[in-house]
């Protein structure tokens, strides 16, 4: 009779693809705006955040 089509999460593939990229080190870095002064380092730094996995990195100027 009817066909059983299991097609629930069409976007899961794209998400996995992004995660794979992140795991490979290819993050989608976006500049985080805010206070660029890092107290720990005691100098100006640029903050980046991955829009896919949420990883954060700082880069000293």
Binding site for Zn ion (CB under 5 A): 22, 27, 50, 52-53, 55
Q: Give whichever of 37 and 51 is closer to Zn ion, judged by the CB atom.
A: 51
Integer angstrom CA distances of residue 32 from 5, 8, 22, 37, 59: 42, 34, 18, 12, 11
Cβ 49 to Zn ion, closest distance in Å? 9
Cβ 52 to Zn ion, closest distance in Å? 5
d(CA 31, CA 9): 30
Q: Give whichever of 47 and 52 is closer to Zn ion, judged by the CB atom.
A: 52
């Amino acid at each position: 009779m009817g066909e059983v089509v299991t097609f629930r999460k069409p976007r899961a593939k794209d998400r996995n693809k992004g995660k794979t990229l992140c795991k490979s080190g290819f993050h989608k870095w976006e500049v985080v705006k805010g206070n660029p002064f890092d107290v720990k380092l005691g100098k100006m730094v640029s903050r980046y955040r991955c829009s896919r996995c949420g990883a954060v990195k700082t880069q000293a100027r």
